[in-house]
Structure 1
Amino acid sequence: MKKIDYQYALQPDWQSDVLLKKQNTSNISNLTLADEAGFAALKHDEFTWLLSFPYQSTHKKKQGCISAFFNNGEQNTIDHSQFFEANQEGTRHLNLSGLLSKDKTLHQLQLAFEHCKAPTEAKLLGFKKPNLADGPILIIAPHADDAELAAYGLYSDFADQVWITTINAGQNLQSLDRQYISGLDETIGDATQRKAQIRAWNSMTTPLLAGVKFDRLSSLGYFNLTKESLYQTPKESQSDKAFPALTPQISRTFNTLKLPNDEQNISSGQLLIEDLTSLLEQIKPSTVLVTEPEIDPHPEHIMSAYALALAINKSSHVPNRVLMYVNHLRKIKKFPYGPEHSKTALAPWYDTKSIFGHYSCYSHQLDVKTQKDKVVSFDSMHDLRSKPRIQKMLKKWWHNKVLKSHYKYYGYHNYFLTHIKANEVFTFVDGQIFSQSLIHSIEQDKKH
């Protein structure tokens, strides 16, 4: 069995040791807090709750499952269950957010363990929820679909406050047979141009499903930028090999917001930072969402976070907080684990140190209707329309007919499985700390 501890630079606002006691020989455990008085004094629904515990799988192939339910006879549902790796052990985090409230406390909560051992000790971590209602929310998506994958539920619930900007044109096409519509274009240049146009259209229309206003959406159309190019060659103009005539203008057709690079129409690090600075000063967001640059390995996702840091440093407006999300993982394709509509916690990570020092955690709950709306938003994105390959079709049939599992298989892309969950989980830090920490890391890179 493989031992891997999930570790984070988390800074909870409240915590307490927890004892778990099994009911006779059953797989059900009751929880007892060491600091019951302190817990009772808190407004439970104002916190994100994570239970840090030693996980141990008991099956080589089947994922471990922990289900939370209340001893008042309330029926357990899939959105109360969280799944973990098969054939692994180590520190994990069970997301209890949305379960604890004024009427439902930890005393009433019970945990059922399947294909994993019930621990005897754990630690309950409480994180004060950010006040997202305190001003505009700006979501920075490196590509069309990143905002939906990470935060469709969040931006649906705050649609009247939300602005979304998509940084990259997303025009890269490996070959002609990878077009959205087979055989539509006959040259790689034409197909590349069309892909950029389609992805811009996706990014400017999908948020309308959630009620986000059209004039609060923007597509910037940058390409071939990296973290290094932002500060090593910021003025260097980028060109696309397949379609040299490509410029940001191809993605800005529908924009109503006026930005500095509308006139320059060049893909460069300096102009991206100027556009993001302009967005910060026009919108004055209290909250900004962007990809987590330490955990998410995609180069353009990392670049997007560093571009935001440089823009905050240049801007006259500093957001109160930056929420960070993870859409890609290193060598991990099945996280978040388990069937659609189940719970999830923080993305796998293995270090208690962070360039941000410490960070907090926020879990945003999605009801079933919003989760199904999120499925529709995925289906509206051309990049998520995977073809029904035989292997995937057989896997769907096996789960439905033979295993009779809870899997729905709404689509053939993995994101339809992994990102349709009962919650969306973010880390967050103060806006100034976000900017200063990443700029400091840039300066350290220069020294080395």
Structure 2
Amino acid sequence: MKKLDYQYALKPDWQSDARLEKQTTDNQSNIVNLTLSDNTGFAELNPEQYTWLLSFTYQSTHKKKSGSVCVILENNEQNTVNHRQYFEAGETGTRYLNLSGLLADYQTLSQWQLVYDHCLLMPDATLLGFKKPDIHHGPILIIAPHADDAELAAYGVYSDFSDQVWITTINAGQNVQSLDRQYITGLDDNLKDAVSRKAKIRAWNSMTTPLLAGVKFERLSSLGYFNLTKNTFYNASEKQQNDSVCPELTPAISRALNTMTLPNDESNISSGKRLVDDLASLLDQIKPTSVFVTDPEIDPHPKHIMSAHALALAIQQSGHIPDRVFMYVNHLRKIKKFPYGPEHARTALPPWYESTSKFGHYSCYSHQLTLKTQKEKVVSFDSMHDLRSKPRIQKMLKAWWHKKVLKSGYQFYGYHHYFQTHIKANEVFTFVDGKTFSDSLLQKE
């Protein structure tokens, strides 16, 4: 059994020791009661105004089957997938159960029970409460490193707040590994044409998919940068970057549909400085109170790390500092199955193993998605060319095996693994204030 504790630099606004005790003395029972040490303190709160995470010690009891924990509500409902959260097979250690959106009042909690399968829950636990940020007021800017990153991480957020959301996509996403990896096989017979076409398609994806959720077209922008890394900001910010396959490629290829005017529209150069200028201009024009961007500590994708640093520099350059910066994770080191479990299950923070952070401490926000919104999110994925994975025989067999033989609850809406991992009942973020985000990243450089 592999021991691995999830650790985070979390700073809850409220917490209490808790106990997970079996309902009966029957060793065969897989039901525990959840009780709190600080009942009085909890009773004084409005649970709906908080994100709730239960920190507990998890122990898998199966080498291959994922452990799961499900909340039983007052009506004994326990089979609804959006009340269940899944964890690693063959592992033990500290885990976090997302209870957000399920706490109506203290009386409900006093009757709360958890059902667990293919795992054991140790008695000692801690309930952590994080005051929900007020994102209802003021503009929201979502920064997507690539077309589809905003949908993967925050479709529910931008759907629920569509009348105040702005989305900008940084990278052209033009890379084509080979001609047989085109979106449409055999469409282009040379790599240069394929690269140019892919850049146009991904810009079109980023500028049209949010319309499904009601985001206004004039609030969308595609910036078309390429070949930028974190180091380009600090070591070669003025240097023009060229695509190795298509040297004549410029950001203009991605900006054809933009209605917003940005500083690099005329110079049309892919460089670190130009990107920071554009983001600073967006901050000044939109004046967002909330900004969403990729987590530069946990998400290992170089373009995602670059995007966070670009935002930090833009905040420093801009005259506007957002109230808060939310961080999301779409990639993990050596992990492709998180969030675990079938579509529509619950999820919490991504696996991480450090109790300290360059941001000092951060808070947590869980955004609940209705089943209707989750299904709309499926449609948004299908509208993205990069997520239209081909139905290879191995994937078709896996889908058949899970649905017909294992009856595991997977729907397999699409053949790309994101259709399973990112169609969940929650979208979960960490966040800090805008000044802390910018200062913390830049002081380390």
Q: 1:46 aligns with which of 40, 44, 49?
A: 49
Q: What code does the residue aligned with 1:320 have?
A: D
Other-structure match for 1:419: 422
Q: Would you say the 8 A contact 2:70–2:78 is kept in 1?
A: no
RMSD: 0.8
Whole-Å separation in 1 of the counterparts to 2:291 and 2:386: 25
Query: 1:165·1:217 contact (CA, 8 Å) conserved in 2?
Result: yes
> What is aligned with 1:84?
87
Secondary structure in 2 aligned to 1:375?
helix
Match of 1:203? 206
1:2 and 2:27 correspond: no
Q: Cα distance 1:173–1:439, how it changes in 2: closer, same or farther (>3 A)?
A: same
Conserved in 2, the CA contact under 8 Å of 1:225 and 1:238? yes
Match of 1:165?
Answer: 168
Counterpart residue identity of residue 238, structure 2: K
Alignment of 1:294 with 2:297, yes or no, is yes
- State which drifts further: 69-78 or 194-203: 69-78
How many Å apart are 1:324 and its aligned residue?
A: 0.3
**In 2, Cα distance between the equivalents of 1:301 and 1:204?**
19
Equivalent position of 2:275 in the other structure: 272
Q: Is the 8 A contact 2:56 2:121 kept in 1?
A: no
Out of 85, 93, 96, the residue aligned to residue 93 of structure 1 is 96
Structure 1 residue 146 corresponds to structure 2 residue 149:
yes
Match of 1:332 in 2: 335
- Residue 21 of structure 2 corresponds to 21
The question of whether the paired residues in 2 share the 8 Å contact of 1:202 and 1:382 is answered with yes
Alignment partners' CA distance in 2, 1:20 and 1:402: 33
SS of 2:154 mapped into structure 1:
helix
| Aligned-partner residue type, residue 192 of structure 1 | V
- 2:234 corresponds to: 231
- Check conservation: 2:22, 2:32, Cα contact below 8 A: yes
Task: State whether structure 2 residue 443 is matched by structure 1 residue 436.
Answer: no
- Pick from 307, 312, 316 the counterpart of residue 309 of structure 1: 312
The more displaced of 418-427 and 23-32 is 23-32
8 Å CA contact retained: 1:27, 1:118? no
Residue identity matched to 1:48: T
Asked if 1:61 corresponds to 2:93, the answer is no
In 1, the alpha carbon distance for the partners of 2:106 and 2:211 equals 36
Whether contact under 8 Å (1:72, 1:108) holds in the other structure is: no
Separation in 2, partners of 1:154, 1:194: 30
2: CA distance between counterparts of 1:10 and 1:128?
12
Partner of 1:445: none
What is the alpha-carbon distance in structure 1 between the residues aligned to residue 279 and residue 408 of structure 2? 45
- In the alignment, what sits opposite 1:188? 191
Name the CA distance, whole Å, in 2 between partners of 1:240 and 1:411. Answer: 31
In the alignment, the residues of structure 2 paired with residue 367 and residue 103 of structure 1 have an alpha-carbon distance, to the nearest angstrom, of 23
| 1:69 shift after superposition | 1.3
1:359-392 CA distances to partner (integer Å, 9 max, x unpaired)?
A: 0000000000000000000000000000001111
**Cα-to-partner distance string for 1:295-347 (whole Å, 9 max, x where unaligned):** 00000000000000000011100000000000000000100000000000000
| Alignment length (residue pairs) | 442
Match of 1:117 in 2: 120
Q: In structure 2, how many angstroms separate the alpha carbons of the residues matched to 1:62 and 1:173? A: 36
Shift of 1:10: 0.3
Q: Distance in 2 between matches of 1:413 and 1:282?
A: 36
Secondary structure, in 3 states, of the residue corresponding to 1:119? Answer: strand
**Aligned residue in 2 for 1:446:** none
Pairing of 1:404-415 with structure 2 (within 5 A): 404-415=407-418
CA contact (8 A) 1:169 1:199 kept: yes
Shift of 1:246: 0.4
Same amino acid, percent of matched pairs: 71
Q: Which amino acid aligns with 1:36?
A: N
Residue 63 of structure 1 contacts residue 115 of structure 1 at CA under 8 Å; is this kept in 2? Answer: yes
- In structure 1, C-alpha distance between the alignment counterparts of 2:107 and 2:79, rounded to whole Å: 14
1:376 corresponds to which of 376, 379, 390: 379
Any idea what SS the aligned residue of 1:120 has? Answer: strand
The answer (yes or no) to whether the contact 2:57–2:122 under 8 Å persists in 1 is yes
Q: Displacement, 1:103?
A: 7.3
| Superposed displacement of residue 102, structure 1 | 3.2
Pair 1:354 & 2:357 matched: yes
Aligned-partner Cα distance in 2 for 1:169–1:91: 39
Task: Report if the CA contact (8 A) 2:43-2:106 is conserved.
Answer: no
Letter in 1 for 2:166: W
Q: Which runs of 5+ in 2 are unaligned?
A: none
In structure 1, C-alpha distance between the alignment counterparts of 2:240 and 2:107, rounded to whole Å: 57
> 2:339 matched to 1:322?
no
Structure 1 position 72, deviation (Å) = 3.6
Cα deviation, residue 104, structure 1: 5.9
Counterparts of 1:104 and 1:185, CA distance in 2 = 64
Matched residue type, 1:20: L
